[in-house]
Amino acid sequence: MQNGNHANAPLNPGLVFEMLSAHQRTAALKAAIDLDVFRAVGDGPGDVASIARDCAASERGIRILCDFLCISGVLTKEGGLYKHTPTSATFLDPRSPACIASIAQFMSRPEMREPYEHLAEVVRRGHTSLPGDGTVEPENPVWVTFAEKMAPMMAPMAGPLGAVVLEGFKGPMRVLDIAAGHGLFGIEVAKQNPEANVTGLDWAPVLRVAMDNARRAGVQDRYGMLPGSAFEVDFNGPYDAVLLTNFLHHFDVTTCVKLLKKVHDSLRPGGRAATLEFVPNEDRISPPMPAAFSMTMLTSTAAGDAYTLSELTAMYREAGFKGMTVHPIPMSPHTIVMGAA
């Protein structure tokens, strides 16, 4: 991904060729993960023959794939031996506790890939080519995969989110985690405050993943489940805090405001709502990752978007919130926006 405006970039047809070839980078990383190449490289010694044997693959295929991964920055090559880069050692070797390789399973799901096969038509129509409202159709199974596979990428953000939500709060509290998914955000609040009771809201099969994670974290006794649609179920407030992580971007502004009003009504006075979002700058073309996320919303939803800070705070205000604060999460493309009821 390049950075923002490029008016001064050197004249280069290579950029056009590179963009039209960029799909190869996705396929190469997915193939390497599926073949367990990053484990084999970690095992060493890193020559083509050993990796090919470990991965039950051809030497020609492994040599070309590993060279391609070097070019892409997720392996390196020294004296003919492939080695991890710090990035691949940390995020792609399955033995690393920070490994996020599983996100490839979510990101390559048919729902996430199919609209790109006819993106011109999606742009013409202005909404996803998936049936109905796309990934936000009721009970869409894509969210079970999200809960299972995207958790490692979201986990590092749970700590900062918990700290922001709990700042200045002590003692017994009730927390609602809307679109809980893997549940890691609510679970983190329960870990940081041993007197917090957390309710996860999501489709029932998704909540089973969250409850597994709650058990693993030892907070299952303080973790409740509220299965269903955030727009339809009774929230059963009042709450001290409501989490809305990676959720608002799926909907248009009117729908977001409606939901935020419902959240506002479920909070005790002074209670907090915290959203975790990709928040692009007002120019909508920087920083690259949050800004590019709009494309995912175009292809997978009817009317979602990556909202700017001014849009998010306007929604909060319209829903009755005040005292909005903004907390970018370091080393991540995500930002927490919080408002008080």
Q: Give the DSSP letter string of 33-55.
A: HHHTHHHHHHHS---HHHHHHHT
Distance CA 61, CA 301 (A): 37
Distance CA 71, CA 67 (A): 6
Residue in 230, 268, 233, 254 with CA at minimum distance from that of residue 305: 254
DSSP label of 9: S
Distance CA 198, CA 195 (A): 10
We find the least distance from the C-beta atom of residue 326 to a second copy, in angstroms, to be: 20
Name residues contacting a second copy, limited to 313-332 (CB under 8 A).
331
**E strand spans, 22-102:** 76-78, 81-83
We find the least distance from the C-beta atom of residue 234 to a second copy, in angstroms, to be: 33
We find the least distance from the C-beta atom of residue 330 to a second copy, in angstroms, to be: 12
Name residues contacting a second copy, limited to 25-84 (CB under 8 A).
25-31, 34-35, 55-65, 67-68, 70-74, 76-77, 83
Binding mask 135-154 for a second copy (x = CB under 8 A): ------------------x-
Q: Which stretch binds a second copy (CB under 8 A): 189-197, 209-217, 271-279, 297-305?
A: 297-305
CB 259, CB 251: distance < 8 Å = yes
Name residues contacting a second copy, limited to 194-253 (CB under 8 A).
none
CA-based end-to-end distance of the chain: 38
Is 11 one of the binding residues for a second copy (CB under 8 A)? yes
Is 255 one of the binding residues for a second copy (CB under 8 A)? no
Residues found in the chain: 341
We find the least distance from the C-beta atom of residue 78 to a second copy, in angstroms, to be: 8
Is 2 one of the binding residues for a second copy (CB under 8 A)? yes
We find the least distance from the C-beta atom of residue 225 to a second copy, in angstroms, to be: 29
Is 333 one of the binding residues for a second copy (CB under 8 A)? yes
Planar angle of CA 27, 39, 157, nearest 5 degrees = 75
Is 113 one of the binding residues for a second copy (CB under 8 A)? yes
We find the least distance from the C-beta atom of residue 164 to a second copy, in angstroms, to be: 20
Q: Binder to a second copy among 303, 315, 336, 341 (CB under 8 A)? A: 303
Is 132 one of the binding residues for a second copy (CB under 8 A)? no
Count of residues touching a second copy (by CB under 8 A)? 95
Distance CA 70, CA 65 (A): 9
Is 24 one of the binding residues for a second copy (CB under 8 A)? yes
Residues paired with residue 83 on neighbouring β-strands, in sequence order: 76
Planar angle of CA 74, 77, 80, nearest 5 degrees = 150
Is the bond into 269 cis (omega within 30 degrees of 0)?
A: no
Q: Which stretch binds a second copy (CB under 8 A): 116-124, 226-234, 260-268, 313-321?
A: 116-124
DSSP label of 220: G
Q: Binder to a second copy among 194, 216, 283, 326 (CB under 8 A)? A: 283
Is 6 one of the binding residues for a second copy (CB under 8 A)? yes
